[in-house]
Structure 1
Amino acid sequence: MNLTDLRIFASAARQPTLADVGLEMHLTPSAVSKALRRLEDSLGKPLFDRSARQLVLNASGALLLPRAQALLAMAEQAKADVQGDHAVIDCRIAGPAILLWRHGEALAAALRPYPEASLHMQAMFEDDALAALARGDVQAAVVTGEVLDGKGAQWSAAWEVAPLGTLAQHLVAGLGHPLVQALMASGGSDARRHDQRAGGGAHDQPTGAVLPATVLHATAAQVLQHDFACPSHSLFCGERRGARSDGWREDQLPRRIRYWTDDLQLLLAFVKSGTALAYLPDFALDDAALVRIDVQDAAFTCQEQAALVYDGERAASWLRQLVQRCGAPPHA
């Protein structure tokens, strides 16, 4: 029994066919089959119930899988720790696309001290991301506090949680939207910058220009005259929630949602073109084509806490350093 055969076995436990295992491991199906037979011969028992080309773990395979994953993780951890900054790291992180968008740059920056590292961000909803972490397919998952509060059956006592900060939703419009134009013409804007990271102030911009982080003030009556774009499913968990999917309180301020899409880029396109308003995360305002609108008489806010979940028992030193570099204080 060797580590290479165990890696192929762990892949075969995830993949439905020999061909799929071969694609993942960069091997021919024949080489995959030989490796699995070699492992089975060394253990003296079959590990799969083979039906046509399908691979299904039997009781022996199910018993071996967590032990194989632990051995592989230990081997990877030991190798990375010995190699230090020159470790060849394959960092795999899963989570909702919207959270990867928010934290992808910080994760990439945290890996820069490792010149041989690669970062694979796999977009999937929160429960699927945690399931991938449990299987060992990824080393960490980015999720919201709502998932952490309701830890499911797959939650492991070995998992640790690193806060990544707060994600707040804001009403957002494109610079060419009629409401933005009307508010600017009437002087309904806040002259100061709210994006402190950018520095500077309104005096740094041409007179009359709309700053990317400028806040425009409007009433609910003004806002609700215009069309909205909205996802039909939660962008975090994938649950179908209709008009509640983006966190807007439809019971307090019922909107006219004309455009429905679960594709984040298409949703942004509707907003940037000035076609619709949308309730989007605060980091969308980093885009100079978007502006925030503060609904002065709205009595609600929507915020989500984000966190990085990882296996503390199997974490190599590079993963712990990544957590320290991109994590936020618990109160953030």
Structure 2
Amino acid sequence: MDLTQLAAFVAVADSSSFSTAATRLHLTQPAVSKRIAQLEATLEAPLFDRAGRQVLLTEAGTLLLPRARALLADAESARHALRDLRGETGGTLHLVSSHHIGLHRLPPLLRTFASRYPQVTLALRFMDSEQAVQHVLHGQAELALTTLGAATPPLQATKVWDDPLCFVAASTHPLAQRKQLGWADLAAHPAVLPEPQTYTHGIVADAFARRDLPLQLRMTTNYMETLKMLAAVGLAWSVLPRTMLDAQLQVLPVPGAALSRTLGHVTHDRRTLSRAALAFVALLQEEPGCAGLR
């Protein structure tokens, strides 16, 4: 099997689109189709069902996908090892980041990194933390900057920042009119929070569960900036990082509400990091509060 064919196969599988895969690979759509056809001929099995604009994996394609990811990741590790022998810090760094870190923590890091390592090409994508972790697990990225949950081998999570959380609402919200607030008062009003499967939602939900209180949800979205807007217009109360607070919102003083999350980076401990990735990790270690490698 040819690695370029496998790369085309994975790109189509990830995007469910030949045209999107072609754009991602900087190829024409006919070139991608040709590579898939060649791979299918080699394997003597169809890999995709094409129903109009829909592109779906066949049983053979589903079976091949994790193996193709592993082969591509091993090939990338080999390239990194050979580049390291030459002492170069160049090539492409495949980095994924949560939207929040991308907006509020990443810009100065990128500015410094680009200045120090101009030979490195950054392939940067933004996504939810949980999805970013999966990209590292499956070899689609070397490094993920995320809200950290419980990492299990072969993933390794390293703390970089503490991210204290605050209960907030618009100054016109009924809770903001109260001089004294308890957890039961929050439970009596709906909230806008990240999706239930996210790490941040879990922190809030666990806090209410420990107090045997219900958590009312008006709506959910994974974009912190959207949550800030929804709270600022008075739709509901929310929980936001302290770094996002401004005059649009009022902090709700809730006794015992010392909630916080941990932000950091995730790597795959069975894959060799490129010199570019190691350089980015070293830059992260310069951040105040970074726990270092563990």
Taking structure 1 as the reference length, what is the TM-score of the superposition?
0.63
Amino acid in structure 2 at the alignment position of 1:21: A
Cα distance, 1:283–1:246 mapped onto 2, change above 3 Å? farther
Give the unaligned 5+ runs of structure 2: none
User: After superposition, where does 1:1-332 map in structure 2 within 5 Å?
Assistant: 4-38=4-38, 45-46=43-44, 48-52=46-50, 54-56=56-58, 57=61, 63=67, 65-75=69-79, 78-79=82-83, 84=88, 87-95=90-98, 97-105=99-107, 107-109=109-111, 111-112=113-114, 113-115=116-118, 117-118=121-122, 120-126=124-130, 128-148=131-151, 151=152, 155-156=153-154, 159-174=155-170, 176-177=171-172, 218-220=179-181, 224=185, 229-231=191-193, 233-234=195-196, 236-237=198-199, 245=204, 249=208, 252=211, 259-262=218-221, 263-273=223-233, 276-285=236-245, 287=246, 289-295=248-254, 298-312=255-269, 313-327=271-285, 328-330=289-291
Q: Secondary structure at the match of 2:208?
A: coil
User: Are the equivalent residues in 2 in contact too, given 1:6–1:72 (CA < 8 A)?
Assistant: no
User: Are the equivalent residues in 2 in contact too, given 1:172–1:293 (CA < 8 A)?
Assistant: yes
Shift of 1:33: 2.9
User: Are the equivalent residues in 1 in contact too, given 2:149–2:199 (CA < 8 A)?
Assistant: no
Q: Secondary structure at the match of 1:138?
A: coil
Cα distance, 1:27–1:272 mapped onto 2, change above 3 Å? same
- The Cα RMSD (Å) is 4.3
Shift of 1:260: 3.0
CA distance in 1, matches of 2:39, 2:217: 57
Q: Secondary structure at the match of 1:330?
A: coil
Amino acid in structure 2 at the alignment position of 1:282: R
Taking structure 2 as the reference length, what is the TM-score of the superposition?
0.70
CA distance in 2, matches of 1:48, 1:314: 33
Cα distance, 1:137–1:22 mapped onto 2, change above 3 Å? same
* Structure with greater Cα Rg: 1
User: Are the equivalent residues in 1 in contact too, given 2:48–2:57 (CA < 8 A)?
Assistant: yes
Identity of aligned residues (%): 14
User: Are the equivalent residues in 2 in contact too, given 1:3–1:72 (CA < 8 A)?
Assistant: no
CA distance in 1, matches of 2:85, 2:248: 44
CA distance in 2, matches of 1:66, 1:320: 21
User: Are the equivalent residues in 1 in contact too, given 2:93–2:276 (CA < 8 A)?
Assistant: no
CA distance in 1, matches of 2:206, 2:241: 10
Shift of 1:62: 5.6
User: Are the equivalent residues in 1 in contact too, given 2:80–2:275 (CA < 8 A)?
Assistant: no
Cα distance, 1:173–1:13 mapped onto 2, change above 3 Å? closer
Amino acid in structure 2 at the alignment position of 1:104: L
Deviations 1:122-169 (A, max 9, x none): 21251x332222222222234444332xx3xxx42xx33321232221
User: Are the equivalent residues in 2 in contact too, given 1:246–1:280 (CA < 8 A)?
Assistant: no
Shift of 1:173: 4.2
The structure with the largest helix share of the pair is: 2
User: Are the equivalent residues in 1 in contact too, given 2:80–2:272 (CA < 8 A)?
Assistant: no
CA distance in 1, matches of 2:14, 2:111: 30
User: Are the equivalent residues in 2 in contact too, given 1:168–1:303 (CA < 8 A)?
Assistant: yes
CA distance in 1, matches of 2:259, 2:159: 18
Cα distance, 1:234–1:4 mapped onto 2, change above 3 Å? same
Deviations 1:57-109 (A, max 9, x none): 27677655422321134325645885845x353432144x3454453335424
